[in-house]
Amino acid sequence: MNDRTLQFKIIDILLTLLMVLPIVCGMVLKVLVTPLSEGMDISGARILVTIPFPVQPLVITDAQVNSWLVMISIVGLCLYLTHGIRGGVNCKRHLLATWIVEKTDSLVSSNMGSFFMEFSPFIGAILGLSAFSSLTSLLGLYPPTSDVNVVFGWSLLVFFIITHFKLKGGVWNYIKGFGDPIPVFAPFNVIGELSTPISMAFRHYGNVLSGVVVSALVAWALQGLSSLVLGWMPGAFGQIPFLQVGIPAVLSIYFDIFSGCLQAFIFAMLTMLYISTGFPEELWRERIKKREARRAAQIAKTANKKKINNTNIAV
């Protein structure tokens, strides 16, 4: 398909809506559930729904909702970038999709090695989800990365993957590793192991939240300073916070864009390093060799039994 047919254009429009509508719905939802208030508000994620459960009620906050909306938008973006890529349609966005895949593969290959190339989609998903979640603050939404519960869920998933690859060297070798270099350090090594998801979550969450708080404090202070300095102006001009124009936007470039993308990169780097360095490749290969040797011995033993049985039948 060399030309863009009407069907192709319709699907493009639907995929564009899939990208945009979730964020628009999040903005509309915030306007509907946020009451009018005066002064500065730096409270945490707003509770939207509380569902009763036997042990503990399930609380749905705007951070969780925004996280799902970002994921839906990312799915729409991925589908849009790759739409028609195998159908012979020439689009600039296909070059962008190829560039993203190549850069992600290069990042994984240089930090984890060729053995972990299958992690490239996972690392790309972490980078995209974290970066876009932080950038939602530019649209006035509560960024999911400012909620420790959301980020801790990501860290817990990464911790399970790290533990899975550490166990590939054998359960006993994994337990024995807590005694390195001497058994006295075993309690400290256990604490260090369990603190991995906590440190990853609080590092990411703390840096993003601090930027949100600092930006809110500066905007609030500039509003008061503008009223104090320029309040003498007649009419409605004295009520306009002129000093809020420009400075919060400059801060937003660092806290919302640079810092958010940087924390996404750091989280992905820590994920790659923890998984690749925790994987005992030599022990895993030894286990594979022993498993193959046992399998070969079992096959040979079975073959010998069949040979003896056939000999007995012939006799």
Instruction: Give the H or E element holding residue 47.
Output: strand 47-51
pLDDT grade for 72, boundaries at 50, 70 and 90: very high
Q: Which range has the top average pLDDT, 28-37, 48-57, 145-154, 180-189?
A: 145-154
Quick one: average pLDDT of 80-89?
Answer: 80
Give the pLDDT score at 7: 85
What pLDDT score was predicted for residue 87?
67
What's the mean per-residue pLDDT of the chain? Answer: 83
Q: Which of the four pLDDT bands, split at 50, 70 and 90, describes residue 212?
A: confident
* pLDDT tens, position by position, 237-266: 555 555 666 666 677 777 778 888 889 999
The mean pLDDT of 59-73, rounded to a whole number, is 92
Burial of 39-65, coded b for 16+ CB within 10 Å and e otherwise, reads eeeeeebbeeeeeeeeeeeeeebbbbb
Render pLDDT for 113-137 as a digit per residue (tens, 0 to 9).
Answer: 888 999 999 999 999 999 999 888 8
DSSP per-residue codes, 203-248: HHHHHHHHHHHHHHHHHHHHHHHHHHHHTTSSGGGGGS-GGGSSHH
Residues sharing a CB contact under 8 Å with residue 83, sequence separation 6 or more, in sequence order: 8, 11, 12, 15, 89
Q: What are phi and psi of 42, to 5 degrees?
A: -120, 35
pLDDT greater than 50 at residue 1? no
- What number is the average pLDDT over the span 169-193? 84
- Angle between helix axes 62-82 and 92-112 (nearest 10 degrees) is 110
Q: Is the pLDDT of residue 2 over 50?
A: no
Q: Is the pLDDT of residue 273 over 50?
A: yes
What share of the chain in percent tops pLDDT 70? 83
How large is the average pLDDT for residues 171-189? 83
Calculate mean pLDDT across residues 102-117. Answer: 91
Sorting pLDDT into bands at 50, 70 and 90, what band is 160? very high
Task: Return the pLDDT at 236.
Answer: 57
Compare 313 and 162 and report the one with higher pLDDT: 162
- Specify which residues 58 forms β-bridges with: 51
C-alpha of 305 from chain center? 55
